[in-house]
Amino acid sequence: MTQPAQQQDVPGTQSAMTPRPDCGETSYRGSGRLVGKAAIITGGDSGIGRAAAIAYAREGADVLISYLNEHDDAKETARYVEDAGRKAVLVAGDVSSSQHCKDIVAKAVEEFGKVDILVNNAAFQMSHESLDEIPDDEWEYTFATNISAFFYLAKAAVPHMQPGSSIIGSSSVNSDMPSPTLAPYAATKAAIANFCASLAQMLGEKGIRVNSVAPGPIWTPLIPATMPPEKVEKFGQDTPLGRPGQPAELAPVYVLLASDEGSYISGARVAVTGGRPIL
């Protein structure tokens, strides 16, 4: 797949992308892997979050979709969840706020009575060619959104989780092969992988599994919203598979890690990178 040069304002919307990402809307088929489970997915309005929400719903889970302000995208994702016969709960707001993270979990407990799956997926990035170009407040916001939110969400969710529950962090190939133009983002993605490894050991005695997924270049609204058009045009072409991945290609991994089929997978970092190695 190739994509034309394009630019959007942050945080970007899926409906404005050319071509539109494939989140499994027409292709994902469930087989009952998550029946009766309740999931929180941050950044669930589009991209990888939408793909996970669609897959989880079609596998039988109710889903709380946390998002910033992309209301149309979020409502569309909710429709896919409801069309699968599951409950969709929308919560708008900025996960860089610790209180908002606590409110997300409280809403899930209010609506579902429990939390079985927490997917920390919301992320912010911006491209910069030099250190001097990175504003201090942008550095702080990137960390607050990508890794501090994960801490607040996990801390709030764990008391409502039972043995067999699952926490999944969206890391990145940048955790292992950091791009110099995405330095703040790459640092947070390494922190997510590390935090997941710590949590897997800390929460093992509670029967809660914790893993991270390390996507490579995936075609999501974050790309045209945070990269210059000339980089968007070539996005993903430098992978061994020669193309960016689609969000739908991540969904099966998020399902496995959330399901009872992954009952002995904890402390793992699963690479979905189009051939870029994570060793």
Catalytic residues: 185
Distance CA 236, CA 38 (A): 33
Q: Is 29 exposed, middle or buried (0-12, 13-18, 19+ CB in 10 A)?
A: exposed
Residue (of 132, 223, 235) closest to 183 by Cα position: 132
Q: Does residue 119 sit in helix, strand or coil?
A: strand
Give the DSSP per-residue string, 152-218.
HHHHHHGGG--TT-EEEEE--GGGTS--GGGHHHHHHHHHHHHHHHHHHHHHGGGT-EEEEEEE-SB
Residue (of 47, 39, 261) closest to 153 by Cα position: 39
**Does residue 149 contact residue 191 with C-beta atoms inside 8 Å?**
no
Q: Which two tokens stand for residue 93?
A: 């707001």
Q: Does residue 86 sit in helix, strand or coil?
A: coil
State in Å, rounded, how far the first CA of the chain is from the last one. Answer: 27
Name residues whose C-beta falls within 8 Å of residue 137's C-beta, 6 or more positions apart in sequence: none
Counted residue by residue, the chain has a size of: 279
Find out whether the peptide bond into 163 is cis, omega within 30 degrees of 0. Answer: no
Q: Which two tokens stand for residue 106?
A: 């409280």
Distance CA 139, CA 152 (A): 19
Q: Which two tokens stand for residue 111?
A: 């609506």
